[in-house]
Structure 1
């Protein structure tokens, strides 16, 4: 977390916003007193809809067949 003064924040706002977009958190301070925090805004999760992949993805009957010993070892 970086701390910058108000003057530096006004001067370099575009650069600070690019750093925030990259995931960094920045505190803006008046002198040595922190007064604000810039954090990335995370978009709301996309609502999942049951059956959205119908006709695009298919599972064949081989999916339900038992795994071979070699395949089982790979999972261990």
Structure 2
């Protein structure tokens, strides 16, 4: 595991962050004393399985969904005329 001092980390932050994001963990030290460990987060990637349709058959949308409560809404906001 690579150890860099604070000054070097500030100078090369962009490339160090890129390395960490690619799985290369490193440690930042001050006066030779390790302070923090920088590692990539377990963020979702585009390669993960999408969950579209996982509630299929468990919920229903009424046929008149786009017209539900239209009279109440017209009364609240006016009829648009």
1:15-69, Cα deviation, whole Å (9 max, x unpaired) = 1011001101010000210001110011268785366xxxxxxxxxxxxxxxxxx
Unaligned runs of 5+ in 2: 57-81
Cα RMSD, aligned residues only: 2.3
Structure 2 length-normalised TM: 0.54
Helix, strand or coil at the partner of 1:3:
strand
| Aligned position for 2:35 | 35
Helix, strand or coil at the partner of 2:17:
helix
**Higher Cα Rg: structure 1 or 2?**
2
Unaligned runs of 5+ in 1: 52-76
Runs of 4+ in structure 1 off by over 4 angstroms are 44-48
Q: When the two structures are aligned, how many residues end up with a matched partner?
A: 51
Structure 1 length-normalised TM: 0.57
